Structure 1
Amino acid sequence: MIGAILDIFWIPIGGFLSFLIFISVINKSIGVRKAYVSLLLRIFEYGRVSIETASKENHFSSHNPKTDDKQGVQLVDDTESKEGTNGATLITRDAVLLPQAQEPAPEKPVSSTKDEINFDFEKCLDYVKSGVEAIIEDDVTSRFEAEELKSWNMLTRTNRHYEFISWKITAIWVFGFFIRYVILMPLRVLVCFVGVVWLTVCTAAVGYLKDGPYKRRLVNMVLGMCFGVLSSAISAVITYHNEDNRPSSGICVANHTSPIDVLVLMCDSTYSLIGQRHGGFLGVLQRALARASPHIWFERSEAKDRHLVAERLKQHVSDPNNPPILIFPEGTCINNTSVMQFKKGSFEVGGVIYPVAIKYDPRFGDAFWNSAKYSMMQYLYMMMTSWAIVCDVWYLPPMYRQEGESAIVFANRVKSVIAKQGGLIDLVWDGQLKRMKPKKEWREIQQVEFANRLKSDST
């Protein structure tokens, strides 16, 4: 009896998974995810209107008719400012006090000759002001926190208890909680498991084939199919723009928000990857991908050898048969509001650079991975209990290093193009500041700037 019930239970699931794999093979979409996202947008809009209405009604009951309307609107504005994007800046800083893009400072940045300088404490006030501003509004650490929303998205990750402002909103929230945790999450976990197993089996089988055009075409088809299945595990809705600029060789660089960035791009094209070897879930995926196509994986000690990394990168790019190599020059995940300093290594190799801008819609789920706070499994749990992962990808025209242009200037030029297209804030700061102290060169730049200012004022 129990066996018969289980058979009946697994028949529709097996049929669903078979259908999912089939549409991934033929690279088609039946429009279910887009219809689902459109429905969510209507629900979010209803929730926003309900919250504003409830806020105004609460202030009307305060018996102050002259200021009720203003107070009601002010409450909504405060909510939006506090829950607004982390990219919004409240303080305009003096650009002179920010580190400028340039080559590392020499070992002796200040001349050894002794110049007479009339020191005045007033000349330090700009630096004191800049330090206070940095304490009030930190441009760096705020980029490694979850992006805040302008309006509630019916998820439980808020302490404002919007779900209890009315019985209708409460009913929608409870129903959404049931859908996400009881129906979607178990189904997504099952699809993810099937996708990983399918990826491992397919790449192992393709890995036995002899290198050649046939294998490359088969690898492209297999990886597109496997990552299409994996994208279903997070209900990914991806819109690709300017597909004529899709990279076919060379180096592809993109801003970095999440490990999902790889999945988002691999659903549309095949890339080689470069990075440190990992254990656990990521290690399984790395070993599976390495069987089918050329990738560059380093041990942690090897990854610190810049010359070794550059040499292997040049070898990969020099082979026209290799797929384009995907690099995230920031070296760490940023919270979908900004683009931080690009490492210059990938821009020293030479050849063509294909910029790609990735922007996630935070209304449906926060794609940012705060690796200091969540493990990979915790992050996947958050992804699978979100409404969906919705993002836009822009393929930008290829860029070349100009004659006499340094790698740092070239990297910043590419970074600014990506930031502008994705609607992201272009920051000069190194994302590694969340793990280490500022480099000595950054301090020396500020020391030289301050010394030059004192000299100019004393003359």
Structure 2
Amino acid sequence: MSKLNTSSPELDLDHPNIEDYLPSGSIQEPIGKLRLRDLLDISPTLTEAAGAIVDDSFTRCFKSNPPEPWNWNIYLFPLWCLGVVFRYGILFPLRVIVLTIGWIIFLLCYFPVHFLLKGHDKLRKKLEIVLEETVKSSLFSLQRGLVEVLCSFFVASWTGVVKYHGPRPSMRPKQVFVANHTSMIDFIVLEQMTAFAVIMQKHPGWVGLLQSTILESLGCIWFNRSEAKDREIVARKLREHVNGPDNNPLLIFPEGTCVNNNYTVMFKKGSFELGCTVCPIAIKYNKIFVDAFWNSRKQSFTTHLLQLMTSWAVVCDVWYLEPQNLKPGETPIEFAERVRDIISVRAGVKKVPWDGYMKYSRPSPKHREGKQQSFADWVLRRLEER
């Protein structure tokens, strides 16, 4: 069967073999009869449509791949049962204790200062007059350090094995860090090394409570995907943050949604039109013990954390890559694609030409019209050949 003829090499990376999904009888027809293979070879558009029906590359970006069972015989099954007892009966309680100790230490050190200063403007002003600049800077550093310590306890509660490559990020104005996105734990993995301010979807429940109390002190920016006005407000806050010399480094996940760490979807251009240096970060999880992908449509973040805490370990590599700047004549969209190329190659993931927001909505009319125009051009070419 011929490959899909398309101008985008990204589609070829994941083009499914239709014959793998068909019974042998539908392919091996007697000579002289119309075979399904011939029908699909008539048009690249029909081939692409058939491939999308059986296994489209967009859906595969957001599918978790369960591990293959290995306890299939009488010798392995007792070992598997022993592992389950050890993980749930010993490891999990120990990890809960570790995480509880971390929360107690954090709350005892963080909230007395945070709520005292947040609720008393007059007291804050008096302290700013009495305290020297170095003392105030130390207090802010302590606050950032406590958040890093809490994230370290979270990583320890998964028996996280994280290897960092490259120089540690530093606080500088006019820079923004961008990374591929697999789960909300990406933020925790990165935060235990550097106190980033992050732009993130506003979440309900206990995660939202943490966002409005602890993470807000880092200068984090929240948005609501359903509010169109939020885009302008967020864009203004981003520019103000990157221009502040004393602000925490800004971290953005430009894909806008969690992808299963096998692919990267299109980067939003907002991070690349701020007129500042972009520092790429590549994150790659090893699925040998657990799949770190968070499918937010199928499980809550609490369930996701429990899955991590009852696994053997979370194994991860993080690469801090060379900073990039907008080249002369380069558009923000081209800049975003160039940075996505760098991250994809380093993390060993495939690029696909999809907008991650399609996960939350129907395809745009522009996308449908593009496919319709492509099919119409092909039909015209075939008619002219005749």
1:165 and 2:73 are equivalent in the alignment: yes
Helix, strand or coil for the counterpart of 1:256? coil
Deviations 1:360-418 (A, max 9, x none): 11011111111111112211111111111110000001111122222211111111110
- Residues 123, 179 of structure 1: alpha-carbon distance in 2 compared, 3 angstrom cutoff: closer
Helix, strand or coil for the counterpart of 2:7? helix
How far apart are 1:446 and its partner, in Å? 2.5
* Structure 2 unmatched runs, 5+: 12-38, 118-123
* Structure 1 unmatched runs, 5+: 1-89, 101-120, 153-157
Deviations 1:153-181 (A, max 9, x none): xxxxx4xxx324133x2332122111100
Structure 1, 286-295 or 121-130: larger mean CA deviation: 121-130
Question: Out of 62, 70, 73, which is 1:144 matched to?
Answer: 62
1:214 and 2:138 are equivalent in the alignment: yes
Question: Out of 306, 310, 320, which is 1:385 matched to?
Answer: 310
Instruction: Give the match for residue 29 of structure 1.
Output: none
Cα distance between partner residues in 2 of 1:451 and 1:217: 61
Question: Out of 372, 376, 383, which is 1:447 matched to?
Answer: 372
- Residues 317, 97 of structure 1: alpha-carbon distance in 2 compared, 3 angstrom cutoff: closer
1:298 and 2:223 are equivalent in the alignment: yes
How far apart are 1:247 and its partner, in Å? 5.0
Cα distance between partner residues in 1 of 2:247 and 2:46: 52
Instruction: Give the match for residue 26 of structure 1.
Output: none
- Residues 326, 349 of structure 1: alpha-carbon distance in 2 compared, 3 angstrom cutoff: same
Tell me which amino acid in the other structure corresponds to 2:98: V
- Residues 291, 371 of structure 1: alpha-carbon distance in 2 compared, 3 angstrom cutoff: closer
Cα distance between partner residues in 1 of 2:41 and 2:378: 8
Instruction: Give the match for residue 132 of structure 1.
Output: 50
How far apart are 1:441 and its partner, in Å? 1.7
Tell me which amino acid in the other structure corresponds to 1:287: S
Deviations 1:211-257 (A, max 9, x none): 8422332233222222111211111110000125x353421111110
1:349 and 2:274 are equivalent in the alignment: yes
Instruction: Give the match for residue 11 of structure 1.
Output: none
Contact 2:265 2:353 in 1 (8 A): yes
Instruction: Give the match for residue 20 of structure 2.
Output: none
Contact 2:92 2:309 in 1 (8 A): yes
Cα distance between partner residues in 1 of 2:231 and 2:369: 23
Cα distance between partner residues in 2 of 1:366 and 1:335: 9
1:178 and 2:50 are equivalent in the alignment: no
- Residues 400, 408 of structure 1: alpha-carbon distance in 2 compared, 3 angstrom cutoff: same
Cα distance between partner residues in 2 of 1:257 and 1:198: 29
Tell me which amino acid in the other structure corresponds to 1:146: S
Cα distance between partner residues in 2 of 1:362 and 1:405: 37
Instruction: Give the match for residue 235 of structure 1.
Output: 159
Tell me which amino acid in the other structure corresponds to 1:352: T
Cα distance between partner residues in 1 of 2:2 and 2:58: 14
How far apart are 1:349 and its partner, in Å? 1.5
Structure 1, 425-434 or 266-275: larger mean CA deviation: 425-434
Instruction: Give the match for residue 248 of structure 1.
Output: 171
Tell me which amino acid in the other structure corresponds to 1:412: E
Helix, strand or coil for the counterpart of 1:275? strand
Cα distance between partner residues in 1 of 2:350 and 2:9: 15
Cα distance between partner residues in 2 of 1:443 and 1:99: 19
Cα distance between partner residues in 2 of 1:254 and 1:200: 29
How far apart are 1:203 and its partner, in Å? 3.4
How far apart are 1:94 and its partner, in Å? 2.6
Contact 2:40 2:47 in 1 (8 A): no
Deviations 1:318-337 (A, max 9, x none): 10111111111111111111
Helix, strand or coil for the counterpart of 2:49? helix
Instruction: Give the match for residue 192 of structure 1.
Output: 99
- Residues 377, 352 of structure 1: alpha-carbon distance in 2 compared, 3 angstrom cutoff: same
How far apart are 1:128 and its partner, in Å? 1.0
Cα distance between partner residues in 2 of 1:253 and 1:393: 12
How far apart are 1:307 and its partner, in Å? 1.7
Cα distance between partner residues in 2 of 1:283 and 1:334: 21
Count of residue pairs brought into register by the alignment: 338
Contact 2:4 2:44 in 1 (8 A): no
Tell me which amino acid in the other structure corresponds to 1:435: Y
Where do 1:279-298 residues align within 5 Å?
A: 279-290=204-215, 292-298=217-223
Contact 2:171 2:246 in 1 (8 A): no
Helix, strand or coil for the counterpart of 1:130? helix
- Residues 327, 97 of structure 1: alpha-carbon distance in 2 compared, 3 angstrom cutoff: closer
Where do 1:362-401 residues align within 5 Å?
A: 362-401=287-326
1:260 and 2:185 are equivalent in the alignment: yes
Tell me which amino acid in the other structure corresponds to 1:394: W
Cα distance between partner residues in 1 of 2:141 and 2:336: 32
Tell me which amino acid in the other structure corresponds to 1:165: N
Helix, strand or coil for the counterpart of 1:315? helix
Contact 1:351 1:400 in 2 (8 A): yes
Contact 1:341 1:429 in 2 (8 A): yes
Cα distance between partner residues in 2 of 1:404 and 1:436: 33
How much is the aligned-residue C-alpha RMSD, in angstroms?
A: 2.8
Cα distance between partner residues in 1 of 2:288 and 2:277: 35
Contact 1:91 1:133 in 2 (8 A): no
Cα distance between partner residues in 2 of 1:263 and 1:206: 23
Deviations 1:119-154 (A, max 9, x none): xx99972211111122222101122121355xx5xx
Cα distance between partner residues in 1 of 2:185 and 2:154: 10
Cα distance between partner residues in 2 of 1:402 and 1:97: 23
Cα distance between partner residues in 2 of 1:300 and 1:428: 21
Cα distance between partner residues in 2 of 1:362 and 1:340: 20
Helix, strand or coil for the counterpart of 1:252? strand
How far apart are 1:182 and its partner, in Å? 0.5
How far apart are 1:449 and its partner, in Å? 3.2
- Residues 140, 317 of structure 1: alpha-carbon distance in 2 compared, 3 angstrom cutoff: same
